[in-house]
Structures are given as C-alpha cells and as structure tokens.
Amino acid sequence: QVQLVESGGGLVQPGGSLELSCTASGFTSEFYVIGWFRQPPGKERETVACISTNDGVLFYTDAVKGRFTISREGFTSTVHLRMNNLKAEDTAVYYCATASAYTGWPMGPYEFDKWGQGTQVTVSS
C-alpha cells in the first residue's frame, strides 16, 4: 500500500522558518519525481518545489525561489522542504506527491498520481 506521510506544519510568524518532511513507502515501482505542492484557502493547488530522483535536478516556483529548499535524504524516499522568511501568502495546506514520469519542468499537480494527506502551514502574527 503506497503511503506518503507529511509532517512539520504549524503556525509561524512572518519571517520565521519551518521544515516539512515527507516519507514515501509501499511503492512497488520506481517514481521519478517527488514534489511539494500547496493549496491556499479558496485557490487551486500549485506546484512549489520538485526533485527528479534520477539526477537530482530541482524545480522551484518563482514565489519561493531563494526562500525554500527541497532536499532528499541520500537515496531514501524521504524529502524535506525547508521554508525560510515565510510570508502570509505562504499560508496553505502543503502536500507531498510523486510522479511516475518526468516530463520536464514545470510539472503541474495533475501529473502526480500519489499524494499525501497534507499538512497545514499558517503564517500569521
């Protein structure tokens, strides 16, 4: 049974930091991309950051470049999203997901087929 489990969300003040973690398990075939997504209240889900598992190539959406860092623990199925200098507009439910094919950056949420349950990140004073 495929499982993606996110952790690390919470409430943080503007300018603060959080680190999200995602552990994937139960896969019977290789996945080629693992990424983080977010869905702000009343808005569509968007791609935040991804990593290609074959060659480690990274993608970041423009809104988080220079503030967020995606990383993978060696060749494991655990990825992290370090979020610095958080802003109110980063408030969202954050999801981790995997894709069975790499189609080139950017990859939209519709290209990912396995999803975690999400973790809430709230940036507020």
Give residue-wise pLDDT tens across range 53-100: 888 889 999 999 999 999 998 777 899 999 999 999 999 999 999 999
Q: Which residues contact 64 (CB under 8 A, 6 or more apart)?
A: 48, 49, 83, 90
Residue of 26, 58, 61 lying closest to 44 (CA atoms): 61
The answer on pLDDT for 122 being more than 90 is yes
Q: Which residues contact 38 (CB under 8 A, 6 or more apart)?
A: 45, 46, 48, 90, 92, 93, 94, 95, 121
The answer on pLDDT for 27 being more than 80 is no
Confidence of residue 28 (pLDDT cuts 50, 70, 90): low
